[in-house]
Structure 1
Amino acid sequence: MAQAEGWEFGSKSEQLYIHFDVDDHFLKLETFIRTAGSAQRIIEALDETFFQGKLEYELIVLPPEPGSFLSKLAVWIGGGITGLYAFANTDIGSAYIEALTGQSPIYWAEQAGEHNRKMLQDLGEWVDELTEDELEELEAEIGDAKPTPVAFPSPDSEEACRVGARIVVEMTRGMLSKETTDLERLGMDTGSLPDAVDARSDFYFACLEDADVKRIGFSDDADFPIPRNSFPQRAVKPPRPEKKDDPIPWVVSVENIYVTSPNWDKEDQKSRQWKGKDAIRRDCYFVIEDAEFWFHVRQKDLSVDVLDNLKVQWAYQEIGGRIRNRRVLRVLEFNGDKLADPLTASAIRAILGEYSSVEARRGQPSLFDDGDA
C-alpha cells in the first residue's frame, strides 16, 4: 500500500460509505474496526486478482458527521492504474467491472476523459478573458510550438487515479451489497476472490454480533437496503473448492534392464508387475504398455532366456524421493534383438502430457539408492 502524504479529499480519491442504521448515533469500536478491516481485505483481494497487485492505494478513515453514524472511508490511489486499465480492456474485466459497479468500462473511460474536456473548456474561457496585449505576449512566449493533441489521461495522472479510485470503491461496494446469488453467478472462485467473499462474510458477521445494528446501507442517504434478517445468510462463508495437487511430472529415459521375474500375462500386470534390475543393479518394478512388444509375445517370436535383457524407453515419477510408477512405453531391444525405434517427443506427449528427459545412470548404486515398491 502507498502512503498518502499530504492527502486531502478530492485528490486521487473516492469515498466509500458504510451506513449503519442504529437507534443512537454511535457504533461499537469493535464493529467499526471489523467492518472497515473487511472492506480493506476486499480491496486487497480485488487488487491481487484483477490488477496484478500493483495498485498503489491507501484506505483512509474520514471523521463521521455529527448526528449519524455514517462510516466514511476514502480510497486514495497513488499510482499503478495501468493494470486496472489493462484489466478493463479484457472480456472478463469488462464483465466483472460492469457486474460489480453497474457501469461498463466505456462509462469509466468517459469519466476519465471528462477531465480533459473540462481542462480545455477552462483554458478557452481563460484565453477569451485576455486583453490584446496579453494575447500578444502569450503568442510571443509560445512561438512556433505546436499544440499537444488531446489524449486520454495518463495512467498516473490525478484524474485517472481519481477515476481508478471510483472503480475500486464501486467494486468494493458491489461485493458488499450484491445478493449472494448474484455473486455466485458472476463467479467468485477466480484468483483471490474467495478471500474477498470471506471478508464480506466477516463484515456481516460483525454486524450480526452487534445487536444495535438494524440495517446497512452504502450511501450517505438514509437508505438501508440490507435488513438485519439478511445478515445471517450473508455471513455464511461458502465452502472453498479443494485445491488440486499439481500433477507429478513424468521423467522419460532409455535404459537396459535385466529381468529377474517376468510376467507374460499382459492383463495381470496390475496385480503382479515385472521385476528386474536397472543399469546400477537396483531392483525395479514396472509394467510394459508397448502394444508392439505384446504382439511379439503372442506371435512367440522372442528369444526368451533365463535372465532376459531389455532395452526400454520408460517413464516414471519421483514421489517422496523414490521412483514410482515405472511404465515401459517402448521395448527397443529384447536380448540384443532390435524390436522398435524410440517414440518421438510428440508421441510421448500424446501419452503422458508434459515430461522431461534424463540420461540413464551408469555405475554403482550409492548409499542413498534403494529399491522401489
Structure 2
Amino acid sequence: MSQVLAGRLDDGSDVLYLHFDVQNHHLKLETFIETADSARKIVATINEGFFHNSLHYELVVLPPDEGSFLTRLAIIFSAPAAVFTFVNTDVGAAFIDGLTGKPPVEWAKQMGQTTGETAGKLYEALTREEKQESKAACQVSANMVVAMTRGVLEKETLELRKIGMEAGTLTDALHARADFYTACINDKAVNRVGFQPLDDFPIPRSSFAERAQRPPRKADEEEPPDWTVSIENIYVTSPNWDVADQRLRHWKGKDQARRDCYFVIDDLEFWSLVKKKNLRVDVLDNLQVQWACQIVDGRAKNRRVIRVLEYNGNKLAEPLPAEALDAILGRHATAKALREEPSLFDGLE
C-alpha cells in the first residue's frame, strides 16, 4: 500500500469486509467484481437516500489478506457533516438504530470519546466549522456508513422491511443486495459469507436465494430516467445559503433562455467556500455551472448543480470528467457545452 493512501486512510476511514468462505482461498473474478460493485451501489444508495448525495467519500479496494478470501473495501471520508445532520432527525435515528443496531446516542458516545465532547453537545460540535472536517468526525462518519452498508447486506429481509428499506430510492439498495447474493449463488465455490475479518460466516449458502429476491417496485418507483448533463450560465434571483435547507427551499434563477429554474447545489467545494466567506456576492449573482436534470414528460425535473465552475466571473473549478459523473449520477447523457446557444432546458418547466 502506498504511503499516500495509508496517510489518507489514517485521516478518517473504515473498512467494509466481504468475507467469502471458499476452498483453496480463491474467488472467481466475476464474483469479486459483481459483489464489490453491489457494495458500491449500496453505499451510493445510502448517500442518495439518506444524505441527498452530500457525502464526500471515496471507495477503494485494499489488498486481500492471506487465508480465506477477504475483500476489503475502504471508505474514505473528507466532509462528514451531513451524516450527523441526518442522525439528528427522528427518521435518521430510526434508520441508524435499525441498520447498525446502535442508537445515535451510542454513536455520539463514540464521537465524544474521541473528541472529548459530551453526547449532548455532539451535533453542535460537528456543525462548527473547525470540527466539521476533523479526523474524528471523518472516522465516526466512515464507521457509521460502513455499519449501515453491512446491515443492508447482513440483516434478514423482514428486518429491512420493518426499517423501511423498501421505500423510494432505498429499494435500489435491496436490488444491489439481490445482485450480491445472486453472484454468490452463481459461484458454487462460495459456501458462506461474512462481513467481519474473523472466520465468522453468518450467512450460509442456504440463505442466498432468499436474499437474492428482488423487492417489487411500486408503480411510482419505476426506474428513474437518465440524467442529462450540460454546462450553462444561471442568473440567481433567490439564493438559499443554508445548505441543509436547500432541499426544502431550492435556489431560484433564470437559465440562458431567461426562463425560471429551481435547483440545488451539490458541490461540496462550493459550500466550503461559502463557509469561509471567500465568495463575492452581488444583488444578481451569475453562476456558470455543470448541472444535471432528469427529463420527465418533456419537463426538466430534479435539477442539480454538480459543480460550480464560476461565480460572478471568478473561476472556481474545472468541469468534472466523465468518470466522476458516472460515479455521481450513474447513467447519463452529456449535452454539448452551452454559451450563447438556447438553454438545454428551453421550453421546459
TM-score bracket for the superposition, by shorter chain length: 0.5 to 0.7
1:198 maps to which residue?
175
Query: Is the aligned partner of 1:45 residue 2:18?
Result: no
Q: Quote the Cα distance in structure 2 between the aligned partners of 1:244 and 1:111.
A: 37
Do structure 1's residue 113 and structure 2's residue 112 form an aligned pair?
yes
- Shift of residue 109 of structure 1? 1.4
Q: Pairwise mapping of residues 54-65 of structure 1 onto structure 2 (< 5 A)?
A: 54-65=54-65
Quick one: distance in 1 between partners of 2:42 and 2:163?
16
Deviations 1:280-316 (A, max 9, x none): xxxxxxxxxxxxxxxxxxxxxxxxxxxxxxxxxxxxx
Tell whether the 8 Å contact from 1:13 to 1:77 is kept in structure 2 after alignment.
yes
2:68 counterpart of 1:91: no
Please tell me whether the aligned partners of residues 49 and 190 of structure 1 are also in contact (alpha carbons under 8 angstroms): no
Partner of 2:34: 34
Q: Secondary structure at the match of 2:73?
A: strand
- Alignment correspondent of 2:194: 217
Gaps of 5+ in 1: 119-150, 246-319, 322-373
> Larger Rg: 1 or 2?
1
C-alpha distance in 2 between matches for 1:44 and 1:152: 26
2:146 corresponds in structure 1 to 169
Task: Render the CA deviation track for 1:17-66: whole Å, top value 9, x for unaligned.
Answer: 11100011011111011101001100100110111111001111111111
| Cα distance, 1:186 vs structure 2 | 1.1
RMSD: 2.2
Matched residue, 1:290 = none
Matched position secondary structure for 1:9:
helix
Instruction: Give the Cα separation in 2 of the matches to 1:158 and 1:112.
Output: 11
Return the letter of the residue paired with 1:20. F
* Equivalent position SS for 1:192: helix
Encode CA deviations 1:117-169: one digit per residue, 9 max, x unaligned: 39xxxxxxxxxxxxxxxxxxxxxxxxxxxxxxxx8352211110110000000
**Residue number among 131, 152, 156 corresponding to 2:125 in the alignment:** 152
How many pairs align?
Answer: 211
Which residues in structure 2 correspond to 1:1-373 (within 5 Å)?
7-79=7-79, 81-117=80-116, 152-153=125-126, 154-243=131-220
String of CA shifts for 1:144-198, please: whole Å, max 9, x gaps. xxxxxxx835221111011000000000000000000111111123342111010
Any idea what SS the aligned residue of 2:57 has?
Answer: strand
- Shift of residue 219, structure 1, vs aligned partner: 0.4
**Residues 5, 74 of structure 1: alpha-carbon distance in 2 compared, 3 angstrom cutoff:** closer
For the 8 Å contact 1:41–1:196, the answer to whether it is kept is yes
Give the secondary-structure state (helix, strand or coil) at the position aligned to 2:111.
Answer: helix
Which amino acid in structure 1 is aligned with residue 175 of structure 2?
D
How much has 1:8 moved relative to structure 2? 3.9
Q: 1:24 to 1:244 in 2, by over 3 A?
A: closer
Q: 2: distance between equivalents of 1:155 and 1:37? A: 29
- Check 1:72–1:83 CA distance in 2 against 1; reply closer, same or farther (3 A cut): same
For the residue of structure 2 that corresponds to 1:41, the secondary structure is helix
How far apart, CA to CA, are the structure 1 residues paired with 2:67 and 2:208?
25
Displacement of 1:11: 2.1
Residues 203-261 of structure 1, C-alpha deviation per residue, up to 9 Å, x if partnerless? 0000000000000001011111100011111111011111189xxxxxxxxxxxxxxxx
Conservation of the 8 A alpha-carbon contact between 2:81 and 2:132: yes
Between the aligned partners of 1:171 and 1:6, the Cα distance in structure 2 is 24
Counterpart-to-counterpart distance in 1, 2:221 and 2:51:
25
Same amino acid, percent of matched pairs: 47
CA 244–177 in structure 1, closer or farther in 2 if over 3 Å, else same: closer
Contact 1:34/1:206 (CA < 8 Å) preserved in 2? yes
Q: Structure 1 residue 116: deviation in Å?
A: 2.2
Rounded Cα–Cα distance in structure 2 between residues aligned with 1:233 and 1:218:
18
Separation (CA, whole Å) in 1 of partners of 2:195 and 2:13: 17
Change (3 A) 1:26 1:102: same
Q: Normalization by structure 1: what TM-score? A: 0.54
User: 3-state DSSP class of the match of 2:59?
Assistant: strand
Q: Give the 3-state SS of the residue equivalent to 1:24 in structure 2.
A: helix
Per the TM alignment, residue 67 of structure 1 is displaced from its structure 2 partner at its CA by 2.2
Q: Which amino acid aligns with 1:209?
A: N
